[in-house]
A and B are shown apart, each in its own frame.
Chain A
């Protein structure tokens, strides 16, 4: 104890912050640990760690050496440790992997421990240990299959371990499936953190449970973990409160080997083959739902147990199990009734009981009491919650429903019937193989001995239990086929439980006593349960599609088993350690109650000391330990349950979601149906429309074809008409042609007619003529006649006057002859005259032509001359113009000068100026007045302007000749005085003028020269003419030239050369009149001659 105190001191110092102290103490601990082999120090350390969570202690603990961690052989601790390990493993999948081999070592060691029992512990403990090892096996195999298997392989390949393997491990392996990881995974892959990352703790647990074939451990995906539910219920019957909430008390279902959810029939078959023992599973408490643990409320309706129980019953009846309890006897019906009565109150009572139990346990586990308390609270709350939760699935299941159930039931019924037949056939007791590892092995042997009995009783069972059967049939209603088994079931269950049978009964009785509530009528209870059975059944139906396969396979398997049924080996491994433990507990509980019953009720613990003296301490110790173990087990199971609860909640959520989705799907399907209906409707209407459309189209086509045919007909008609019209047109053309021909003919005819008429008229004329001629002829004839008569008369006269006439006639003849000759000469004369006159006419005509020609020539020439003259005139005119300008300029100058003189203002100059002015005036007067009379003055003036002409003018004898100077061009008057006309002075200028014009013409042999005769002729004529005129002028000699000029002037106005008019009248009267006169003369001459010539 001193050491203990010392240690506690040291422990307190362990947390000191001083590093040196820390190290010292650590070394002290380690030394201690090394030196001291007892567990004392370690335990203290662990306790301390649990209390303070000290890291240092943890460090020390983790560095514990070999002796400490392995020497402990206390089963309780071992079991607790293993359970803790199992609990921890799924929580630390990743971090725990480094200790994997340690875990495996633990397993190996413990498994061998189980067998060899080195600590020589009581077998009861061993059961616990075995169960926990079994759980460890499952966990390890579930989590690290490859590694674990390889460990197993290596570990049990050693000879010394072979036995352990055969005895312990192999049976365990029978409860697991082949892990899929063994196929797909590898050692390394198992340890891959990624594998664990997406899994939560409960996922890992479920993973492990999945590969388990043990119904207690196994979990079936989709949450059909019916077995636990059932087991829970069963536990309520078997054990006191502590068993109620634990799921591990369901060994009955251990043989539900099917991996998936098993329909009850299947399970029943498996049952048949495996375990008859505790067929009494049906519990009304389950019906009430009060006692069911919170686990898997959504998944499993409590009703599940009902069919199971029945099935178990049958199986139990059919088969002997190794555990097979002495099926001695209790009358089955009453048992079943008992159950019905008892269980519900039990359930109600239990919780407080359990609390008590927990209290009693508490001293053992001081430090866990709060935990357990929590658990307890949780449990209660969970149980409450479970009710409500459970209601929901039930409700849901109710909704979905029983449609298939009947069918299924029927089917199952048929199968089960068959099975029952088989079972009855195979009912031979099977020798229990037993002898595993468990303490029950021994129990199982007697069981097997009794098996034959039980089977026989079972075979009789059905017949016996007809009554309950009927009753149950009444209760269960639709489930008839299943119920057929129920009577078998119950009694069998009771029978199978025979070893505990009495106790059972007692317990039930006791519970009856205990229950504060009055008995609930069994009928009602059952009714209640059975009333709810259909929805429960239905739950299986939901799973049926999945399980159908299993069913068949199971069936065949089972049949095979049946065939091989004799061999016990098949059945042997089916007992799992858990089951054994379960049973142990059950038995223990029974024993305990028995004991308690013996004692006085109020206080059991006191009783022992009080009554029976000191109870054997060893036993008490054992019991305590057992209790402890149970508690551990309980905690472990709680942990599992919690994991399951977690999972279940999640699954429930999924289910809700799924149902919601299903509903949604249903709604969608409805909609789809509606839409399909719509579509079909539309299709129908479309078809209708199409049909109508087709019809319409056909109609239209017919109409079209009709129209086409009409069109064709019409076209045909049109063509015909066209042809007809063509024909008609051709006819018309023919007619026209004919008409034209006819017209032509008509015309011809008309012509002919006209012609004929003409002819006729001619003929008629002729006729009339001829008629007139005839008349004339007649007249002439008459005349002739008359004349003839006259002639005759004359002849007569002549004859009368004959002689006288001849002379006369001759004379007359002569006279006639003479007269004729005269006339003839006259005629001759006349003829001659005519000839001469004709000759004369010809001559004259030729003459006339010549005259005309000449005239034309003359005209042309005249024009030419006129043009020439005009050109000259223009030149002269311009010159004149220039002169005028010059004069103006001069005048301007003079005036200017005058102006200047005046400005000088000198009188002298003034006088001079007046003189000058007078002189100027005189000059002006001379200019004005001197024109008519004084030619000289004019000439002088002209000379002033044109000095050159002065000399010839002065040389000329007469003024008239001086006037020639004005002509300018005819400069030499001497030349002009031609020898032809020396006498004619007056005429001279004219003639000269004439000749000057003629002279160049003679020189140029153009026009006139070609006709000299005519020229002479003309000249003569002209001369004659001019002579006459000049003579007349000579007569008027006294007259001045002026008068002549004046007379001529009038003629000149008519002259086409009017340009010369202005200068004529104004400034130059003298020279130009002459000139103009000559021109005018020429003009006159021309026309006169032309006029005179023909005369």
Chain B
């Protein structure tokens, strides 16, 4: 109790002044002190609050299952992961799929392919669409994480989560997108319908690649916080928010192709605001996630 009061006497003012994250960081630290780690609580926290960047990698790894909840086995498990990484990399080198000159992203892709048993017979075979998705995500992730092993594992598990956990919900997202856009701005939606651009929107970019390559990484990782913590619906709201932000431009454009093109290459400067608004919007429509336990 004493500790609590000491910690919280400013907390009333933080929110008012506009500081966010001070409280969160502390509470996250408390959460991370637990042994074993409470995955559920971490998920809830990650959904409610932005993750401090210093803990982001760790939390992601825990949430994605790269690290087990028990602190004591972290080192051992990490060792194991690293060994696996080296083994796979070695194997690829042996079979000459990769070389030292191969870009890191491709290396990740090959490794992932190898591990999932989808390695093509020749490195020169054309890439599948899912590989493109992987590459996009890998590129974004590479920017965020420095360590190769961590990076590979994060990419791998992220993609796996997309492919397994969100396999059913991802195709529903375009519909949800239309629905929420209608609620927010039906005029815009009507305009888009009249332009018949609704079906041609960059859904792959938005929902398959999770905006990788669309938003700058600094903003993107905030979105991925939510995705990794188990909510792919945030993607819909980001998309909606993008449209709302660039509404005037979209309204001005009448051609479906132009709209799509514009949306695929939106300006990067307002992305932070977009993400913040999208998260607010998401909270507004889906409610603030509460720890269910």
Residues of A within 8 A of B (CB): 864, 867-868, 870-872, 874-876, 878-879, 881-883, 885-886, 888-890, 892-893, 896, 946, 968-969, 1000
Contact = CB atoms under 8 A, between A and B. Distances in A.
Interface in B74-124: 76-77, 80-81, 83-84, 87-88, 90-92, 94-95, 114-117, 119, 121
A968 B76 CA distance: 9
A862 to B, nearest CB: 14
Given A875-B68, A888-B117, 14 more contacts: A864-B36, A868-B70, A868-B73, A871-B73, A872-B77, A879-B80, A879-B81, A879-B83, A881-B115, A882-B115, A885-B115, A886-B114, A889-B91, A893-B95
A968 B117 CA distance: 26
Most chain B CB neighbours (cut-off 10 Å) among A864, A871, A969: A871
Nearest to B70: A868
Interface size class of B (residues with CB under 8 A): 20 to 34
Contacts of A868: 36, 68, 70, 72-73
Contact of A886 (B77, B81, B88): B88
Most buried by A among B70, B81, B119: B70
A890 B91 CA distance: 7
Interface of B: 36, 65, 68-70, 72-73, 76-77, 80-81, 83-84, 87-88, 90-92, 94-95, 114-117, 119, 121
Contacts of B83: 879, 946
B117 A882 contact: no
A891 B286 CA distance: 50
Contact of B70 (A871, A878, A882, A890): A871
Nearest to A868: B70
Given A864-B36, A875-B81, A893-B95, A882 B88 contact: yes
18 contacts: A868-B36, A871-B68, A871-B69, A871-B70, A875-B68, A882-B84, A882-B87, A882-B88, A882-B115, A885-B88, A886-B88, A886-B90, A886-B114, A890-B94, A890-B95, A893-B95, A969-B76, A1000-B72
Given A867-B70, A879-B87, A889 B80 contact: no
Nearest to B116: A885
Q: Which of B69, B87, B116 has the most CB of A within 10 A?
A: B87
Nearest to B122: A896
Contacts of B68: 867-868, 870-872, 874-875
Contacts of A883: 84, 87
B80 A872 contact: yes
A879 B86 CA distance: 10
Contacts of A896: 121
A886 B88 CA distance: 6
A871 B116 CA distance: 21
Given A882-B115, A885-B114, A888-B117, A872 B94 contact: no
A478 B73 CA distance: 167
A869 B68 CA distance: 10
B28 to A, nearest CB: 21
CB-based closest 3 A-B pairs: A871-B68, A886-B91, A875-B80
A252 B263 CA distance: 137
Nearest to A948: B83
Given A864-B36, A871-B73, A875-B80, A886 B119 contact: no
Contacts of B73: 868, 871-872
Contacts of B94: 890, 893
Contacts of B119: 889
Contacts of B92: 889
A608 to B, nearest CB: 139
A879 B69 contact: no
B181 to A, nearest CB: 40
Nearest to A880: B84
Contact of A871 (B77, B87, B95, B115): B77
Contacts of A890: 91, 94-95
Contacts of B91: 886, 889-890
Contact of B84 (A871, A872, A879): A879
Nearest to A883: B87
A703 to B, nearest CB: 73
B167 to A, nearest CB: 20
A874 B69 CA distance: 12
Contacts of B90: 886
A893 B93 CA distance: 12
A12 to B, nearest CB: 116
Given A868-B70, A876-B80, A1000-B72, A885 B36 contact: no
A872 B81 CA distance: 10
Contact of B36 (A867, A878, A969, A1000): A867
Contacts of B114: 882, 885-886, 889
Contacts of A870: 68
Contacts of B70: 864, 867-868, 871
A297 B88 CA distance: 157
A1079 B291 CA distance: 35
Contacts of A893: 94-95
A75 B159 CA distance: 160
B237 to A, nearest CB: 33
A1037 B274 CA distance: 73
B75 to A, nearest CB: 10
Contacts of A969: 76
Nearest to A865: B70
Nearest to A897: B95
A769 B121 CA distance: 109
Contacts of A875: 68, 76-77, 80-81
Contacts of A892: 95, 121
Nearest to B67: A871
Nearest to A881: B115
A893 B69 CA distance: 38
Contacts of A879: 80-81, 83-84, 87
A893 to B, nearest CB: 4
A1068 to B, nearest CB: 15
A886 B87 contact: yes
Contacts of A888: 117
Contacts of B87: 879, 882-883, 886
A1005 B116 CA distance: 42
A946 B90 CA distance: 12
B110 to A, nearest CB: 10
B66 to A, nearest CB: 9
A885 B117 CA distance: 7
A870 B72 CA distance: 13
Contacts of A946: 83
Contacts of B77: 871-872, 875
A867 B91 CA distance: 31
A878 B76 contact: no
A885 B95 CA distance: 13
Contacts of B121: 892, 896
B157 to A, nearest CB: 10
Q: Which of B80, B91, B115, B119 neighbours the largest number of chain A CB atoms within 10 Å of its CB? A: B80
Nearest to A896: B121
B65 to A, nearest CB: 8
Contact of B95 (A872, A874, A882, A889): A889
Interface centre among A867, A872, A889 (most CB of B within 10 A): A889
Contacts of B95: 889-890, 892-893
Contacts of B117: 885, 888
A447 B65 CA distance: 177
B164 to A, nearest CB: 14
A868 B119 CA distance: 32
Nearest to B83: A879
B148 to A, nearest CB: 15
Contacts of A885: 88, 114-117
Q: Tell me which of A864, A878, A883, A892 has the highest count of chain B C-beta atoms within 10 A of its own C-beta.
A: A878
A946 B83 CA distance: 9
A948 B73 CA distance: 20
A892 B87 CA distance: 17
Contacts of B116: 885
